[in-house]
Amino acid sequence: MSYLGRSGLRQDHGGGRVLELTPNLTRDLVAFDAPLTDPLAFREAISALHELVFDEATVTPTGKRAYQVSQAGEVRHEQASDQRRRAAGRGESAQPGRVSAELQRDYRDARHRYWSSRRELNQWLQRENRLLWRQRMPYDPVMTVADDALLFECFSADESSYGCLTVDRQACFGVASNAQPGTTNVDYSWDLYNDFQALRTYRETRFHLNPAGFHGASSGHESLREEQVELPGSWLRGFMQLQAAMGLPMRRVPLSVSSVYSLFAFLKRHRAKHGPRALRFELADGKAPRMVLEPWEQPIESPGTTYQGPHVEPVRIWGRRRLLALARLLPLAGGVDVYLLGTGLPSFWVVRLGSMRLTLGLSGWTTNDGTRGSAAQMLMPPTAPADRVVTEIAAALGQCRVASLADLMRKTYTSALDTAAALNQLALRGQVMFDLHADGYRWRQALPQPLTNCELGPPHPELEAARQILRQRQLQIVSQDAAPRGGLVIVGKAEGRACEARVSGDGIVKKAKCGCGWHRRFGIRNGPCRHIQALRDFVWINDQVATGNWYRDRLRWAGKS
């Protein structure tokens, strides 16, 4: 990163204000200068984007709760001591190879102290050192100046939430001068967030992405700041996998503002003390969407909206409390669209703010499974596109900057499968993003250079092992039958291990049985084991959905075929 000065709100010579953003000088030249016609809506939207990045998914216990936790620990300690005294009185000794109850208790206590200390450190930094706390955000916001809109993108430090604010140029800005399309990073600080709160409707505010530093900066300039940012590999993979997932066919669920308000109000007043903690969507064609909050089984209807698509089994998503970052947008919202990939997979919430749109992308779980589990990777194209096709798609999209899938197919004379697979590959490299509202792809380079497999890292070990089982044909299908509520029940052997899986209509493993160590330890929480994946892939990809029909199957699940 290289910045000349700081971003902030300046006083204009004519009495107005100038919201001046400082671009990253190591990127290509990007410029924009225009009056902001709706500063109030922009203030609320950009502030919500800030909260998406810095929101803490962990819960800070109150004094009463901390006391209860302490008391419960003392009770466990007394119970363990009594058990040891009774065992000593009977002359028993601990069996070799078994973990004692005392060691388990010490481990839980140490783990609790560690995470408590992390929370306390984060809260202390938030109060005492805003600048250091700000550095928890690994990457400065990515800003894109397009011909029709301005886009601001962020990805949270905990790798679980993605935010994108899209601002229409024609409706939100006056006549722009010195506009130069492109993508850059903008200098961000806590002071800039406070400057956003000072935006008002009674005084003119100009939005200025200052390009002067590209021409006047030198290595010895006193205001020039150069920073080297080491992005974690897991952060990069999580960011790019959410980007790639956003381009897959999904089910669109329209929600009214009142239903989203009811959802937030219930989550504010209640906190689940036991599982399950999912937000369940029950969808039927031609009817209003229905959300159910577990474990209370609290239904929330969405009046005035209608879901249009095939009837499927309920779709569950987790990490619902992250949605509360959108609360301040509800007074300005005209509606909310939710895009679902399937149970336990990423979801995307688009808040319509008239001429602005805020997109919130959530990983399948609060603890991001994009780099650990393989559920989202299972929906990606089963084969890699040819390098020639990727190059042609990149050249065509780089020239027009925004295009639909059909437009790119016509420009490059490629099939829907090859085009979708190439765009998926470009999204994983950080060169392409999908605009859900416009239903089209945008050429946007999140990083100065495309990512390679070295930065993205190898695929999940269990996923790679499943592919190896398929290549070596160490698989035997015993039976495959239709499940009572849709999908398949598959029984077979992989690497000589007997296994069984129930696969839903969207290709996701719902239940499974296997005797391997991975399944005994995790079940399917962190993604199915290699044997279950190989069993599912053999039937799902090779028999039912041939490789050439992968994209057609996703369209069918999304109700678009």
Confirm if 292 and 280 have CB atoms less than 8 A apart.
yes
Q: What is the pLDDT along the chain (561 residues), one digit of tens a residue?
A: 888 888 998 888 777 889 999 999 888 899 999 999 988 899 999 999 888 776 555 444 444 555 555 566 666 666 666 666 666 665 554 444 566 788 888 888 887 888 778 777 767 876 777 666 666 666 888 999 999 999 999 988 778 889 999 999 999 999 888 888 999 999 887 788 888 898 888 888 999 988 876 665 555 567 788 877 777 777 888 888 888 888 888 899 999 999 999 999 999 999 888 878 899 999 999 999 999 999 999 999 999 999 998 877 788 898 898 899 999 999 999 999 999 988 878 899 999 999 999 999 998 766 554 444 445 665 666 567 888 999 999 999 999 999 998 899 999 998 887 888 899 889 989 999 999 888 899 999 998 888 887 777 777 788 888 888 988 989 899 998 888 766 789 999 999 999 998 886 656 677 889 999 888 887 876 678 899 988 887 876 655 444 445 566 666 666 676
Q: Which residue ranges form the domains of the chain, and what is each CATH number?
A: 1-82+102-141+188-216 (no CATH), 233-369 (3.10.150.10), 387-456 (1.10.10.10), 461-557 (no CATH)
Rounded to whole angstroms, the Cα distance separating 381 from 25 reads 36
pLDDT value for 347 = 92
Whether pTM > 0.85 for this model: the answer is no
To which H or E segment does residue 492 belong?
Answer: strand 488-494
The pLDDT value recorded for residue 62 is: 44
Of 515, 476, 480, residue with least CA distance to 494: 476
> Which tokens in the block code for residue 374?
């393989």
Say whether 84 sits in a helix, a strand or coil.
helix
- Scan for tokens 């991001």, then name that residue: 368
- Asked whether 23 and 210 are in contact (CB, 8 A), the reply is yes
Q: Residues 6 or more apart from 231 whose CB is under 8 A from it?
A: 138, 139
CA-CA distance, 32 to 20, in Å (whole number)?
Answer: 10
CA dist., res. 346 & res. 143, Å (int): 23
pLDDT of residue 190: 75
| pLDDT of 508 | 65
Tokens 């960011």 map to which residue?
A: 239
By C-alpha distance, which of 363, 539, 537, 370 is closest to 464?
Answer: 537
Omega before 295 within 30 of 0, i.e. cis: yes
Q: Nearest-5° angle of CA 424, CA 137, CA 263?
A: 75
Q: Please state, in angstroms and rounded to a whole number, the distance separating the CA atoms of residues 367 and 521.
A: 18
